[in-house]
Amino acid sequence: MQLRDQVVVVTGAGRGIGAALARRFAREGARGVYVVDRDEGPARQIAAECGGTPIVLDVACESDVKAFVDSAFATFGRIDLYCSNAGVMQDGGIEASNADWQRAWEINFLAHLYAARALVPHMIEQGGGYLLQTASAAGLLTQIGAAPYSVTKHAAVAFAEWLSITYHRQGLRVSCLCPQGVHTRMLDDCESAPADLLRDAALTPEQVADAVVQGLADESFLILPHAEVATYVEHRACENERWLRGMRRLWDRVSPDDGRQGSVDPK
């Protein structure tokens, strides 16, 4: 896909990777850029920068997502590319509260489902369309110290694969963006030792946007801004026991005490 003259939507575009995508798509000549975020100020600011339209909504609210998608099709007549990018870090393990697991599930997975449910019928009717889902390298491998993040990002990858297989012949194209560390507020706010491991090789959001523009041009399913992730995925698949041993060693090295990750309330 080439971006020129396309109508695009980017969620979580008030800052970080989403803001870099919105700016870059505008520079590539997109005809309309919807800058979606739950925070109004940042959505307005980024939309002003890229001549786009700010939309304030919570991607985890299905009725709001559907209302927005329907109104965008009514206004512009089409959406060519929808980047379901908003996501949240949630670290912890089995001790993380149900509310934290639920929040990660709603934003990191259900938001992709709600978007696809609203978009796919319109896109099939318009003769095709493109869905870009931001997951993470954690959705292909794992994020040590962050079970809710890893699990929900795996679900995002699985769903993107399913969409790609199921709707290809109706003209839908799907890409799944899986970076490792990226210098954004999400990474900056993480104070855990596992997050520190990601900082050295972290990319800028603009480098991720470069990889996305290339991946869309190639219509690649997996977009891997960190090329080494492809090698890790291969190790995990082909030498799973060895990969697990290596990951356990890494966890032993960075985990706070005996690796139990906090206490579980028996209630």
Ligand X SMILES: NC(=O)c1ccc[n+]([C@@H]2O[C@H](COP(=O)([O-])OP(=O)(O)OC[C@H]3O[C@@H](n4cnc5c(N)ncnc54)[C@H](O)[C@@H]3O)[C@@H](O)[C@H]2O)c1
In the region spanning residues 27 to 56, those forming contacts with ligand X, defined by CB under 6 A, are 37-39, 42
Work out which of 27, 185, 235, 245 binds ligand X, going by CB under 6 A. 185
Catalytic residue, chosen from 34, 82, 114, 149, is: 149
154 is a contact residue toward ligand X (CB under 6 A): no
Which residues 6+ apart lie within 8 Å of 260 measured at CB? Answer: none
For residue 43, the minimal CB distance to ligand X (Å) is 8
Which phi and psi angles does 55 have, rounded to 5°? -130, 125
For residue 9, the minimal CB distance to ligand X (Å) is 12
Residue 114 · residue 67 · CB < 8 Å: no
Applying CB under 6 A, the site for ligand X has a residue count of 28
Q: How far is CA 3 from CA 15, 29, 175, 187, 217, in A?
A: 21, 6, 15, 28, 9
Q: Does 149 participate in catalysis according to the annotation? A: yes
Work out which of 58, 64, 161, 206 binds ligand X, going by CB under 6 A. 58
140 by DSSP, 3-state: which? Answer: coil
Q: How far is CA 240 from CA 105, 141, 148, 232, in A?
A: 26, 11, 21, 10
60 is a contact residue toward ligand X (CB under 6 A): yes
Q: Which stretch binds ligand X (CB under 6 A): 6-14, 65-73, 215-223, 233-241?
A: 6-14
In the region spanning residues 121 to 140, those forming contacts with ligand X, defined by CB under 6 A, are 134, 136
How far apart are alpha carbons 137 and 127 in whole angstroms? 31
How far apart are alpha carbons 228 and 11 in whole angstroms? 27
Pattern 84-113, ligand X, x by CB under 6 A: -xxxx------------------x------
- Where in the sequence numbering do the catalytic residues fall? 149
